[in-house]
Amino acid sequence: MSTPLYYHFDWEVLWRFRHELLAAYLTTLALSAAGLGGALVLGVPIGVLATGRRRWPRAIAAVYVEAARDVPLLIHMYFWYLGLSMLRLPSFLCAVLALSMYCGAFIAEVVRSGLQSVPVGQYDAGVALGMKPARVFRLITLPQAMAFVAPSLASVFSQLIKDSSLSSVISVAELTFTAGAIEGATFRTFEAYIGITAFYLMTVTLVTRSAIAVFGGRAYSADLT
């Protein structure tokens, strides 16, 4: 006959470590924002290259996208933190670089699909008006494409916030790392991880709802699996 198990929740643990949890939450937000910025800096130009008429820019873009997104994010983390340990990069910077490289590949695909969704007639009309191709792209094609892909970029950001939890393996003091430290100090596993779950749920929900409010509830198309 099995013995019933009883567990007494002690939520006071979260209050006791409130300062550590707040600092970890701010670190998670900073890490996610920096990772998104890096991913945009990489992904937007690569996405533009992927739609170029010349073969070699498309080849460069394809190699980056496949190499970055086909490797697990955890390997990206270890590459920067352990593989390049001779550089002595801070763990926070290693996590930002890993998130930027990984998520930049998805943003590149989102941008590529957005550019290809703009009707060719828009480009032809701009050229017919006497505008140079580069000016047509900058003032007509790219703004329309970014408007198309904005909901998907919001989805990438939501995923990036959750992916930032993997930076705990390289000792970045974000939410997941801090929950592990609280668990080790108090043996209150459920309270620690339920507590950070609330932080993640609140943040991702806020990002998602904000995107729906801004973009009218259009379905997100980014495939991050």
Structure tokens at 187: 């043996």
Q: What is the 3-state secondary structure (H, E, C) of 95-138?
A: HHHHHHHHHHHHHHHHHHHHHHHCCHHHHHHHHHCCCCHHHHHH
Q: Which residues contact 34 (CB under 8 A, 6 or more apart)?
A: 96, 99, 100
Q: Which three-class secondary structure state does DSSP give residue 10? A: coil
**Which of the 8 DSSP states describes residue 85?**
G
Predicted confidence band of residue 192 (pLDDT cuts 50, 70, 90): very high
Q: Is the dihedral of CA 176, 92, 23, 35 positive or negative?
A: negative
pTM: 0.86
Query: In 3D, which of 69, 97, 70 has the Cα closest to residue 83?
Result: 97
pLDDT computed for residue 155 by the predictor: 87
Assess contact for 91 and 66: CB atoms under 8 A. no
- Residue type at position 219: A
Task: Name the 3-class secondary structure at 23.
Answer: helix
**CB neighbour class for 57 (10 Å; exposed up to 12, middle 13-18, buried from 19):** middle
Show me where the domains of the chain are located.
Answer: 12-215
Can you tell me the distance from the alpha carbon of 137 to that of 55, in angstroms, rounded to the nearest whole number?
Answer: 19
* Domain 12-215, CATH class in plain words: mainly alpha
The contacts found for 15-23 with CB under 8 angstroms, 24 or more apart, are: 17/178, 17/182, 20/178, 20/181, 20/182, 21/175, 21/178, 21/182, 21/195, 21/196, 21/199, 23/173, 23/178
- Name the band, by pLDDT with cuts 50, 70 and 90, for residue 113: confident
* pLDDT tens track for 24-49: 999 999 999 999 999 999 999 999 89
Determine the average pLDDT of the residues in 6-21. 90
Alpha carbon distance 220, 115 (integer Å): 16
Residue 100 CA to residue 169 CA, distance in Å, equals 17
In the chain, how long is the greatest CA-to-CA distance? 86
| CA triple 14-204-142, angle to 5 deg | 150
**Mean pLDDT of the residues in the chain:** 87
Confidence of residue 135 (pLDDT cuts 50, 70, 90): confident
Rounded percentage of the chain residues whose pLDDT exceeds 70: 93
pLDDT at 150: 81
6 vs 3: which has the higher pLDDT: 6
Tokens 């009707």 correspond to 119
